[in-house]
Amino acid sequence: MMNRCVIFDLDGTLIDSRADIANAVNMTRRDFHLPEHSLETVVSYVGDGVRKLISRAFAGTGVDMEEAIRTMNRHYAENAVVKTTLYPGVAQGLEELYEHGWKLALVSNKPTELCRIIFRHFRLEPLFAEIVGGSSGFPLKPAPDALNYILRTTDSDPAQSWVCGDNHTDLDAAKNAGMKSVFASYGFGTLGDAAYDRIIHSFSGLTELLLPEAGKHV
C-alpha cells in the first residue's frame, strides 16, 4: 500500500516571513546606497525565488544581480528568524499529520540551507521526510520535478497526496505532478488564474480536511 504525503510551501504557508524578507532586501539596497522599499512592495515581489525577487527589487538600478543575490542571501541567512513566526496552528497541525502517518515534505523556492535554518529554529526538521529548496538542483515551481522526486522517495500515491501553498506556483506544480492542491488563502502569495481542489483560511483547516479519522470534520 502506497503512502500519502503533503508537500508544503514555506513562505506564506507555514511561516509569516514578510518582515525578515523585506529587511534583508532593504539591507541589501542600503549596501548599494539605494532607498528602502516598503514592506508591501517587497512582498509583491515574493513567490518566484530569490533571483526573481532581487531582479524585481533592483530593476533599473544598474546593480550587478549576482552580487546583489549573494549579499541578500548573506543578510537573510543572518536574520532569517528575527520577526518570522509560524502561522497559528502550524506546529500542532504538523505534529498531528505526522502522528497519523502522513509523509510531510517541503518544496520551497527559497534556498535549501535557508529553509533548514528556519526549520531548525522552529524544530520542524524531525517531522519532514524531505526538505527541497530552490538550490537543490530541481527546476523551481511550478515545475513538478521536485514534487515527483518526493513522491518517489516517500513511496506516495500522487492521487492521494496534496500540495498546500499560498501561491499560484504551488497550485500549478500540484496539477503538473498529478496531485491535489490546497490553497492557503491566509498567506501573502498570489492566486492568479490557478485552479485548486480545496481552500483553507487557517492552517487548522488542513488538519480538518486530512484527519477526519481523528474526530475532525471536513
Active-site positions?
9
- CB-based contacts of 208: which residues, under 8 Å, 6+ apart? 216, 217, 218
Cα→Cα distances 96→35, 203, 207, Å: 45, 12, 8
Q: Which helix (H) or strand (E) holds 172?
A: helix 168-176
Task: Give the position of cell 511561516.
Answer: 15
Locate 12 and state its grid cell: 506564506
Burial label, 113 (beta-carbon count in 10 A; 0-12, 13-18, 19+): middle
Burial class (CB in 10 A: 0-12, 13-18, 19+), 81: middle
